[in-house]
Amino acid sequence: VTPLEKHLKRRIALEGPMTVAGFMAEALTHPQHGYYVTRDPLGAAGDFITAPEISQVFGELVGLWLAEAWRQSGSPTTANLVELGPGRGTLMADILRVAKMMPGFEQAVSVHLVEASPPLRGKQREALGDRAVTWHDSLETVPDGPTFLIANEFFDALPIHQLMRTEEGWRERVVAVQDDDTLIFGLSPGASPLVSLVPPDVRDSAKPGEIFELSPVSIAIMRQICSRISTGGAALIIDYGHPESATGDTLQAVSNHEFADILAAPGSADITAHVDFEMLARAAREEAAVAFGPVAQGSLLTRLGIDVRRQQLSKRVAPAQAKAINSAIGRLIGPKEMGTLFKALAVLPAGAQTPPGFEEPA
């Protein structure tokens, strides 16, 4: 029994079954026993690997995108460069390296990292050397001003509620303790008030047994991002997820690069859910920002010139290394790997021009 499981059982004994969102928040970011708070989960020896850890080309192209967005917004002389959930700091290090290619950009930006994990803050410090950086628990404390923001595999870690359509109406999925003292999924006895947030077409068409996932925290953070960039800036959100709001149970646990039981050892496995990009784009529009995409990660990186970069890098190295570069890039853009499941959404102030790699909004 993990220390977090003990804590969750105590909480459930006192307060009753908890929502999936409550469970996810505790499992990932409980201040002593949360998964992210107690470890660096990335890399071959960890639990999972992310795009910036697969190839430097990912961060380089994201960096050029952000620098170009800065130029397109009039090259403000002071601006925030913000990353949500920066992992090991690899992506930000790659961004800052290519940022030097855009005259004035690197000097204009101050770097702000929103990170819940103390061990990962330590890794970020190492990755960024002596570059001045400010850490934040949330976006709220980042100073005002034009903001250029990247979030890669951040939204998938934010808590979701799971609402289930039953013959009796919509119920909320909860985590309870069963007789043998293990955790188990159950359903709330009454209707869930969150149903009013389910898009009407989904609410009307869902069949008994189907689940709709809803992340009010994601919507709130998206709104914060948009209200920030309404005075200048741009945000690029990359994650796995679906382009349109739909039913489906996407909650998953991953440990040691394999799927794991979600409830078996809370605090010791990563727990994520697919991002609902339609919901994020709608939140952006409600804040009077303009959302572009989502486009598939493979298409975005291809349009941003990943093939040219592949050729440049491959020219200077031995054949075995060129093969490794090729295979890493294949993982990022291959339709059966990360190229299609992962998607990118760009958010800009209303009236801004279309950012590189995206098309006019419909």
Q: Report the interface residues with ligand SAM, using CB under 6 A.
A: 28-29, 36, 42, 50-53, 85-87, 91, 114-117, 120, 152-154, 157
CB of 43 to ligand SAM, least distance (A): 9
Nearer to ligand SAM, 35 or 105 (CB): 35
For residue 206, count other CB atoms closer than 10 A to its CB.
18
CB of 156 to ligand SAM, least distance (A): 7
CB of 132 to ligand SAM, least distance (A): 20
Q: Which residue is nearest to ligand SAM (CB)?
A: 85
Nearer to ligand SAM, 221 or 352 (CB): 221
* Residues with Cβ within 8 Å of residue 268, at least 6 apart in sequence: 2, 35, 255
Nearer to ligand SAM, 28 or 79 (CB): 28
CB of 194 to ligand SAM, least distance (A): 20
Nearer to ligand SAM, 86 or 146 (CB): 86
DSSP state of 233: E
Nearer to ligand SAM, 35 or 358 (CB): 35
Q: How far is CA 321 from CA 95, 281, 313, 318, 342, in A?
A: 22, 40, 9, 5, 26
CA atoms of 83 and 90, how far apart (whole Å)? 11
Bridge partner residues of 345 (DSSP):
237
CB of 130 to ligand SAM, least distance (A): 21
CB of 246 to ligand SAM, least distance (A): 23
Nearer to ligand SAM, 115 or 172 (CB): 115
H or E stretch at 94? helix 90-99
Torsion of Cα atoms, 37 then 95 then 235 then 85, to 10°: 0
CA nearest neighbour of 282 among 330, 353, 214? 214
